[in-house]
Amino acid sequence: MNFDPRITPARPDLAASFLEGKISAARYVAGELREVVDPSAPVRREPRPDASLDTEALKGERVTIYETNEEGWAWGQLAKDGYVGWLPANALMAPGPEPTHRVAALRTPILSGPSIKMPTLEMISFGGVLAILREEGRFGVTANGCYVPLMHLAPVQAVEKDFVAVAERFLGVPYVWGGKTSLGLDCSGLVQVSLNACGVGCPRDSYMQEGALGKAVDPGADFSGLKRGDLVFWKGHVAIARDETHFLHANGFHMAVAIEPVRETIVRFAKEGTPVRAVRRLM
Q: Tell me the HSE value of 184 on the side-chain side, using a 13 A CA sphere.
A: 13
CA 107 distance to own-chain centroid? 14
In order of 12, 120, 125, the CA distances from 115 in angstroms are: 52, 10, 20
C-alpha distance from residue 80 to each of 112, 180, 211, 214, 238 (Å):
29, 13, 18, 19, 20
Percent of the chain with pLDDT over 70: 100
The partner residues of 76 in beta bridges, in order of sequence, read 65, 85
**CA proximity to 131, closest of 232, 65, 37, 10:** 37
pLDDT of 122-177, one tens digit each?
Answer: 999 999 999 999 999 999 999 999 999 999 999 999 999 999 999 999 999 999 99
d(CA 92, CA 136): 28
- Residue 87's nearest CA partner among 49, 31, 59, 139 is 49
Instruction: Measure Cα distances from 156 to 99, 152, 160, 199 in Å.
Output: 7, 13, 11, 10
Whether 2 has a pLDDT exceeding 90, the answer reads no
Q: With bands split at pLDDT 50, 70 and 90, how would you rate the model's confidence at 1?
A: low
Q: Is the model's pLDDT at 283 over the cut of 80?
A: no
Q: Establish how many alpha carbons lie within 13 A of residue 251's alpha carbon, considering only the half-sphere containing its beta carbon.
A: 17
pLDDT of residue 233: 98
Q: Are 249 and 257 in contact (CB under 8 A)?
A: yes
